[in-house]
Structure 1
């Protein structure tokens, strides 16, 4: 490969930029559409823990930078294989927001790096769709847990 892959996902959400941005900072909101719990809100320079209880998984999120209503940058990934996530929020006409996510810096051989980028692309696309449904309609469409129902923990399957 001549260039490392970058996973990208984007969508418009019909909600004001401040509300959309806050949905990704405040775990009280984010847990309605993405992960199941967090150790706290995102703050620049801090590390928070995100857990996906439905999968028995979690990750530490190392927040690098936040610019209110514009940008969130963090590193994540286990076993020393951190990748960089950059989320940008652009206010559009009529109180709408365009959200873009890029994830880069994958580790491993070429085949592994491509697989990670493809998985990240699908994951962030699902997250943005889940956020859109929640913020526009107040519905938890259960997109995250329904993405891999075969991997759900036994105690989560009955919900």
Structure 2
């Protein structure tokens, strides 16, 4: 059976750390920059806009935070004008030392080929982000997954 709206991407991962620590890792750019973007203009705050920068790609974007429920959920809007999408993180505390993180990127627009491309890229990207967060939070290892996604000469 075909879903009524399959215009979304999803990535999920268990991170063996307390929910408060995992949540903070996605809100505070001092931590997030260890596994995703290289610089953020400030912590995520509800109804505020921040800027995230990937210096290795010479790319920045504005991020508008719509929902910030501590240790539960983050909802942002990001993307080029007229092509913004919604990204939602859901943090499920499994026990005092394990958190299940689900990331859904929705509101993808365009023809079928463009949506398929966006679903593929978003799923791949957020899977790398979650794997990088897991390695950093659980083992204090920086895997450079986002940096190595598009190596120089292949990008």
TM-score by length of 2: 0.93
Distance 1:123 1:47 in 2: 22
Q: How many residues align?
A: 153
Q: Which digits, 9 at most, give the CA deviation of each residue in 1:60-106, with x for residues without a partner?
A: 10100010000000011113210000100011125110000000101
RMSD: 1.6
Q: Once structures 1 and 2 are overlaid, which stretch shifts more, 66-75 or 77-86?
A: 77-86
| Contact 1:4–1:105 (8 Å) recurs in 2 | no
Equivalence for 1:7: 9
Please point out which of 126, 130, 146 is paired with 1:144. 146
Distance apart, 1:152 and its partner CA: 8.6
Poorly superposed stretches of 4+, deviation over 6 Å: none
TM-score by length of 1: 0.91
Question: Unaligned stretches of 5+ in structure 1?
Answer: 154-159
Q: How does 1:84-103 map to 2 (within 5 A)?
A: 84-103=86-105
| Contact 1:55–1:152 (8 Å) recurs in 2 | no
Distance apart, 1:5 and its partner CA: 2.1
Distance 2:81 2:103 in 1: 23
Question: Unaligned stretches of 5+ in structure 2?
Answer: none
Equivalence for 1:36: 38
Distance 1:59 1:78 in 2: 8
